[in-house]
Every structure is written in structure tokens, then in C-alpha cells.
Structure 1
């Protein structure tokens, strides 16, 4: 923590700097409104650091730096300047100022400059150490969770339990529904449709040797077809059963066929 004197003729700037510096854990012990006032107060009560505005009434900041440096060579001086005064900053740096801040400044910029000249305050060090501790604890916990968790495995499905068979024919992915979809195999049907949605630029055909009478199974099929078509994909259904054909025709309008050979895409 540094004891600081703020030298600026603007009350707004003084208040702003005081707020930022106290949040960083420093203590503003004095304020001065011009260069001469700053020199006199520093003689009476030396501080660790001074923020010095360049443009001040009476004695400007450059002259004030010159006088203060004659009193102390150890005090840290940071110049506060505007863009048009930056050429004057170099004069101040030659006289012993350590750094400068350009107005209008941000909290982050003030923090950055102060850290570069005096390092972290105890509050900042504590916050940084706590942050590092949290990161370390999080990584350690994640590593422990990975050890506890069973590794992911690929398991070959029991094909005889599937109600369908999937293959590629004439450049199309064809799912042949060989048996009815029911509660026993519905999860397999859902998992397969979900996986097929990852395929892009693919033409799909559902060849229903057996109609899908299960309400949930039929909904999954219709959702898949709608999703593919919304992505400008191509999908059709071949239905042997006339009643099932009429149901799907009423719901889909297009892309429903009685025979595979009728498909013209």
C-alpha cells in the first residue's frame, strides 16, 4: 500500500483518482491544487507517490517535479496529461517522473500503470493468489472427476434386436423397416435417427416393409423428415401397406412412394 498525494486543479479528477486508488488498496493522504501547493505540502509530509497533472495554475507540473526531486530522489511521480501535452511528458520523465497516464483514463489503465511502477498491493496480491488457488482447485477437481468417471466405450448393437437395417443404395442412405417399432426397440430407432441427422448432403429413403403403427415411432420419423427438409435435404418414404401409405401421404404430401423404383431423384 502506498501513501499518495494527488496534484490536480480539477476536483473531478481528484475524486476519480482517489476512488480508483483506494479500490486498489492505496491511501490518498493529501491533495494539492497547483504545483507550489504540492511542493509545500510535500516538504511538510513526504509521501510514497505523487500523481502530478502537467497543466496547473501558477507553478505547472514540470516545475513542481523539478522542485520535488530536489527534496527527494525516492518519491515516485506519475504524470497526468492530455494527448496534446504528451511532448511535455518527456521533460517530466527527464526530471525523474516514472510514468504517465493520459486523460481521459480508465480504471484499468490506472491499475496497469500503478502495477508497473510499484507492483501489486497486498489486496491485489491476495486476490490474485485466491484466483490462482481457485483455478488450481478447479483443475484438481476436474482431474478427480475424470478418474472416477467410466471411460466412454463404443458398443456394437445387437443387430437382431433392431427393427431396421441400414445400407447405401444408388447413392442414398436406405433404412429398411423390417419389423414393427415398439417399446422394446423404440430407443434404438431414436438413437439411429439422431445419428443420421449429423449426415449432410445425404439423400435418405425409409423403406417400410412394415408400417410404423407406434405413435411415438411415427412422430420420430415425421420429425426427422421435417428436419432434413428444413435443411434443404432430400428424404422419401416407401410404404408397402396401403393404409399406412395414405396416412403418410396426408401428412407429408410429397416424397411418399408405393415402390422403391418410383423414386426419381
Structure 2
């Protein structure tokens, strides 16, 4: 019997690269089908909070609020080194100069905002906007600074902006762990057997993408915010890595560290359930 699962992810190159083989059935899936919905990260977080999607890419910050209804998959996530969000401003400076000033963020439940709040107190005054609007808002003086993600990491100098802090680098230096950015969640109610089957299918989708990258090129460019081939390649190279095949012990330790710090600060509720669903 055919089973169709709703699947949410962003239009960014790393996600379309990872999910292309899955949604276009380039790999054996049996009776499993996926109906995709492409949205920005904060919309995906909101859809997950509403329980709208069977399976979705989310920020690890949002995971902290979703652990009772959703389980984390081992494959498909964005976690690594040198890939964290950046704080940028029109003028060079330091984080102390930004305390109590308005900082644009790509969503309240994004990992970008969680890292900003974990960095220290005094950064609670935020303006939420789509990630692709943040650089223009900073450049235009609408906000004092912005936390940028995705391909903005590569393009902010073109707007004359200055990097104030690499939040990913700060995290790596203070914890010794890679930075957990986003993971893939699936409803616990689907049961352990199906959750395992989906996780294995997702891992095969990533393996296919690595083995035959040219097959996903048209799908990636159809949805990319930045169409320059060099930017697309840099984006995929930064956010898709061996952790995307399997979190492994190192990746799991990083996720648990992030959630523990967020719990300790009262930024997410505690949860006794295991992260994985099988």
C-alpha cells in the first residue's frame, strides 16, 4: 500500500541537494512517497510546531520545543565546522557595542538566534525577518546588525558589511564541538519501524547526491536564491558533509550539548524522551 509523507525543507542548495533523489525517486523507495513543501526555515519551524508536516527540516533551536511530538533522524542534517551564522554590521566593531540594540534574525526559533542568546545577555532586542532580507536591512540602517545564514555568508562583503562575530567559530572554540544548525524530524506517531525505514532512505538520498551531483543540478538551480554556480557549490560544500549521512557520536554529542545549554538558560523546555525514534 502506498504511503505518502509530507516533507518540508528549505529552497537552499544544501537541502535541495540532499532531498532531490528522495522526492524524485532516484533511489529505490518501495511504497514510500514524499510530497515536498519548500519554505524558509522559520516557516518550517512554525509548521512543525503546528504538527502540520510528517517530516521536516528544522532548526536545532526548534527541536528543543518539538521533542515530544517529533524524533530526530540521523541523516540529512546540517552540522559541521566553519559553517555557523555570522553577526554583521555596517561598521566594524564588537559584540559589546550591539547590546540592547536591534539585531535582525532569521527567526525566533532558529539556531542562529539560539547561539546569539547563548553568547550572552543583552541581545534580546531582535527583529525577525526572512534570511534573504537581513543584509539589506543592515546595509540600509533599518537595524544595528544582523545574524546571517545560508549563502549570505559568502555575499555580505559585496554590500559593504563587516563581520562582527562568527557565532559558529565562537561555539567551536568554547565547546570543542561542531555546530548543530538544522536537523530532520519525523513524527514519533509513525512508529519505530517506519522511522528507521525513512532514515535509511534519506541516507541513501544523500549518498546518491554525493555520487551523482550532476543529477540534482537543475533542481537546485530552480530554487536557489543565489544562482551563481560558485556560490551554490560553496554552499553545498559547507553545509553537506559526512554528518549529513549520519550524525555519529560526535554529532550527537554536539546536539546534546546545545540542548543542555539551552535548557540551562531556560530557552527551551526540558524533555526526558530519547532524541531518536528507533
Which category describes the TM-score, using the shorter chain as reference length?
Answer: under 0.3
TM-score after normalising by structure 1: 0.27
The answer to which structure, 1 or 2, has the higher relative contact order (CA under 8 A, 6+ apart) is 2
TM-score, normalised via structure 2 length: 0.26
